[in-house]
Chain A
Amino acid sequence: MLFNSIEFVIFLTVVFFLYWFVCNKSLKIQNSLLLAASYFFYGWWDWRFLGLILFSSLVDYIIGKKIPETSSQNIKRLLLGISISLNLGLLFFFKYFNFFVQSFIDSFTLFGAQLDFVTINIILPVGISFYTFQTMSYTIDIYREKIEPSQNLIGFLTFVSFFPQLVAGPIERASNLLPQFFKERKFNYEFAVSGVKIIIWGLFKKMVIADNASVIVDGIFQDYSNQSTGSLLIGMIFFAFQIYGDFSGYSDIAIGTSRLFGFDLMTNFKFPYLSKNISEFWKRWHISLSSWFRDYLYIPLGGSRNGKWRALVNVIIVFIISGIWHGANWTFLVWGSIHGLLYLPVFILRKEKDEEFTIISLKNIVPIILTFGMTCLAWVYFRSNTVYDANQYLVNLFASTGTTNLIFSTSKHLLITGFVFIGIFLLMGIEIYFSLKKKVEVTLNSKMLVALCILILFMAAFKNPISFIYFQF
């Protein structure tokens, strides 16, 4: 059930009315409704996934309760180990098993040996990377005595499966989201309106920019060897905006939908393409994941406590794992490594206290464009099917012999390109405007919202509604 589908509109409307008009007498009933709705939402993809999420949630609920009950540090550690092993084990099996088996076979084949392992046809449960990370952070935080375990099973199950952010985040921390399930929720007009506004903004990014761009990007990446330099450049830039529109659009809709039910989710994107270096980019891009890796991987690895060189190694490890988190493919690993390498100079040269976010000014334009250019080059690895394809794409980008230009091949492609450019100019214009006002959330007035809705209606790719890219992760 995609956020930009009729099914979701009907589902959301029904749940909204039941939540505020039928179940509003008791918090327990409201949570139960959200749980039922979330499981229905998740089961819509494949009901078989429900058992998995229930199992993962129950394990962490029980372990979460057991950890504070025991005084033995060893048993606490053992319990945490069980939780992490189970979660990572499930993630490994469903997401990486075939990849590692195949890579193992390939590495032997390189040396002339033939191995005969069998790969299994495994369906990747939607959102598994997101909810396993969310539940893991819960048990780790209990182990670290940062939070108290939940004593309410329904509330906890709903926290893990909360439908707005279940399949593609933001990856919430228990310390932020879980208490909200046990606080009385009264309908707040301003909060709900802000939710609607951010939903519309998210739909614009997803349906006008990402879905339209995907038509051009897919065509160019599938036929990169015949495309001209200009075409490859457009393909690369469009993918940067496709993935941004797709993922930040999803996050915005998730945040907005949560607000309709009285929940406040963390901000996941803060205008990342206005960053003046890679370090800043990662403070603005997929914040819930980068902060997760910071808190649960970088710091446990020692962070910067053991000297600069050790910190550099930790940074590279985090970026490589962050890359492979996205998918079982070498392309993601290379993508993560590139970001790690680009991050290092900034990390080494950084001052004690960097300004939080770049303020748009003339002197910052060049660094912003350079940072955007570097992220674009890295995106080529993210988008390509293989590392070889990505390498060839980049070689062709600088020395193409191709003459095909997909954009000009049909009037349809030309029109769609026009739509994407209009969308990108609007997006960046609005983001720069709000950035200058030192805001990280786009809050449009009613006239602009009406105009945006009209734009969505007449420029969205209704004939090409593709799934959210991050659902596959």
Chain B
Amino acid sequence: MRHFLVQIVKYSLLIILLANLISFSANYFLKQSSFFKPSYIINEFQPGQKLDFIIAGSSRGLTSLDTKLLGSLMNQKGFNLSLDDTGLPSHLLMVQHFFESGFEAKNCILVIDQDHFVTSKIELNDNDYRIGPYAEREYIRNYLWLREKGILKPLSYIPYFPMLAYSYYNSELLVSSIISAIRPKYRHRFDEFGDYTYPNAIDEGVSEYYEGTVSKKVNITNPIIEDLAAYLKENNCNLILYIAPYKSEKIEISNQLNFPLINHSDLLKEASLFYDEIHVNLEGKIAATTVFAESYQILQK
């Protein structure tokens, strides 16, 4: 029996050791690569780089504004920090990651989604694992620790025991790290300005015809926005809220906000400018960016 238990312990330790070695290597390759945005900005930006604007948001933030076009229209430099399938807490985290990595920006355009106007759930978003490799940083550790459920918190333990995260998120993190090791400059679904564009083809199942706009009056009261504004203020950055176009919704904000809001929820009237109900396509993106630039210009004065 004793021999059996010793063998079990010995082999378990060996497997844990090997798995952690593989995971530490995977984590290293991911952090050295451009694969995900959190490591891209660290590896590709100049130390202390100053930008005129950053964009934060979810998939609507990622796809609604053309960062390159906006920059050329405004004669400014910007970068899109948005991550698809994330929420307002993740947007704040990405903004923190940007500033804590030693970069600066004058304006932060927060592309806010309806789901987060009032409150955000305390839970991990689908793509939060992308920032996991930097879990040794305090602001990321705090974010993950609060949101990961259960005793085993894979992402939170990455700095000490990465095996958990690289097992649990094997198809997301481990495979990405293998690609990163082979092609460190490869970017996963974003260009050098941090944007992603949906094709012009209209998504199957979505009506080609514009069926009119549904208006709704809502308040924006999510306290995370105040937290973000305060954080940006500390970093000499202005917050601008932006409601990007919806295919058939007009959103009116009823309450008074402490920061500028550009509300283009019903800007685009043609269905052909949309990929689906909530995302514009390439043409829609150019149209939205052009009009946004005008409003943004006014705010700059």
Contact = CB atoms under 8 A, between A and B. Distances in A.
Interface of B: 1, 3-4, 7-8, 11, 14-15, 18-19, 22, 152, 163, 166-172, 174-175
A450 B3 contact: no
A20 B5 CA distance: 12
Contacts of A460: 167, 170
Contacts of A187: 1, 4
B30 to A, nearest CB: 14
B15 A450 contact: yes
Given A457-B163, A458-B167, 20 more contacts: A6-B152, A20-B1, A187-B4, A189-B1, A189-B3, A192-B4, A193-B4, A193-B7, A415-B175, A419-B171, A449-B11, A450-B15, A453-B15, A454-B15, A454-B22, A457-B19, A458-B22, A460-B167, A460-B170, A462-B168
Contact of A458 (B3, B7, B8, B166): B166
B1 A412 contact: no
Contacts of A459: 170
A446 B171 CA distance: 27
A53 to B, nearest CB: 31
B167 A416 contact: no
A460 B163 CA distance: 13
A416 B4 contact: no
A239 B169 CA distance: 24
Contact of A463 (B166, B168, B174): B168
15 contacts: A6-B152, A189-B1, A189-B3, A189-B4, A416-B171, A419-B171, A446-B11, A449-B11, A450-B18, A453-B15, A457-B19, A458-B22, A458-B167, A462-B167, A462-B168
Nearest to B152: A6
Contacts of B11: 446, 449-450
Contacts of B4: 187, 189, 192-193
B170 A454 contact: no
B14 A458 contact: no
Nearest to B19: A457
A450 B11 CA distance: 7
B163 A412 contact: no
B204 to A, nearest CB: 9
A449 B8 CA distance: 12
A142 interface: no
B8 A196 contact: yes
Nearest to A191: B4
A463 B164 CA distance: 12
Chain A to chain B: the 3 pairs with minimum beta-carbon distance, closest first: A415-B171, A457-B167, A453-B15
- Name the residue in A415, A458, A462 with the highest tally of chain B Cβ atoms < 10 Å from its Cβ: A458
A462 B170 contact: yes
Contacts of B163: 457
A198 to B, nearest CB: 15
A46 to B, nearest CB: 23
Nearest to A418: B175
Contacts of A415: 171, 175
B46 to A, nearest CB: 31
A412 B84 CA distance: 15
Nearest to A459: B170
